[in-house]
Amino acid sequence: MSSTTLRPASIRLPHLPSARWVRLVSPVLIVVVWQVASSTGALPQRLMASPATVVTTAIDITRDGTLPHALAISLQRAVIGFAIGAVIGIALALLAGLSLFAEQLLDPPLQMLRMLPFYGLIPLLILWFGIGELPKILLVAFGVAIPLYLNTFSGIRSVDGKLAELAQVQQLSRLGLIRHIVLPGALPQALVGLRQSLGIAWLALIVAEQVNADAGLGYLIDNARDFLRTDIIVVGLLVYSLLGLLTDAVVRLIERKALTWRRGFLAS
């Protein structure tokens, strides 16, 4: 008796809606339930403003310049802090990844620092640097540097040793080894660290801007709390989340462009 083998290619799944549209169902459903609860009084306005009120408030504070000004201040802090943290994190990862001595010297304190909560650093930063912009930028830089260091270091150490042997055969210099072997090999893991560090950077910025700040999205949220303006609080939180999603999408785009060779290699 002959038997036929069922191949995976012969299995036809029923037509399903586009995953991109399916992902919108739950957010839309949440907003609808939120609006209904607010309209019926099940969710009091003093506890949470309705979606319609949030949209109206967002338009109002955008028109009067409050939201654009706060957003500009926050973006400035985020960009400066990210640049400082990225340089420090990548530099330390290169040192520790390429030298066993540097690893023994740098890795233990960095592993200890990654366990510290943001709030635990704020009193010291204020004591050392005052209540100006520097503590806020340094807090963001700290949030960026640690995950970027950990992932880049792991990427460097996971580079195939046979590639280093190939570099010796090709008589590559130390700089050539780093440029042509180490950095491309560590890039996938480094980009993972970049996505993580950007997410933590926005969290650090929220914390920093709610402590002794006089401008920015965090200050806007903190000030709205004192006046029980839940609509402004929700607007600020939504802006933070949108900024996080936008930066993550940018990194994913960079990842697709930079790692085209990797997808082709895995598919072959």
Per-residue pLDDT tens digits for 85-143: 999 999 999 888 888 888 888 888 888 888 887 777 888 888 888 778 888 898 889 88
Note the pLDDT of residue 15.
Answer: 54
CB burial readout 190-200, b (16+ within 10 A) else e = bbbbbbbbbbb
In the predicted structure, residue 243 carries a pLDDT above the cut 80: yes
1 pLDDT exceeds 50? no
d(CA 230, CA 48): 6
pLDDT at 80 over 90: yes
In a domain, 196, yes or no: yes
Q: Which residue has the higher pLDDT, 149 or 263?
A: 149
Higher pLDDT, 165 or 51: 51
Do the domain assignments include residue 81? yes
Would you say residue 104 lies in a domain? Answer: yes
Sign of CA dihedral 46, 48, 54, 60: positive
Report the range out of 78-82, 117-121, 128-132, 166-170 with the highest average pLDDT: 78-82
**Residue 265 has what pLDDT?**
44
pTM higher than 0.85, yes or no? Answer: no
Residue 43 counted as domain residue: no
The CATH number assigned to the domain holding 73 equals 1.10.3720.10
By the 10 Å C-beta count (0-12 exposed, 13-18 middle, 19+ buried), 215 is classed as middle
Residue 238 belongs to some domain of the structure? yes
Query: Is the model's pLDDT at 5 over the cut of 50?
Result: no
Confidence class for position 162, pLDDT limits 50, 70, 90: low
Residue 202 counted as domain residue: yes
Domain-located, residue 31 = no
- pLDDT at position 2: 47
Q: Look at residue 34 and tell me if it is in a domain.
A: no
If you average pLDDT over every residue of the chain, what do you get?
80
The three-class DSSP label of residue 155 is helix
Q: How many domains does the chain have?
A: 1
Range of the domain at 249: 52-267
Q: What's the pLDDT band for 262 if we cut at 50, 70, 90?
A: low
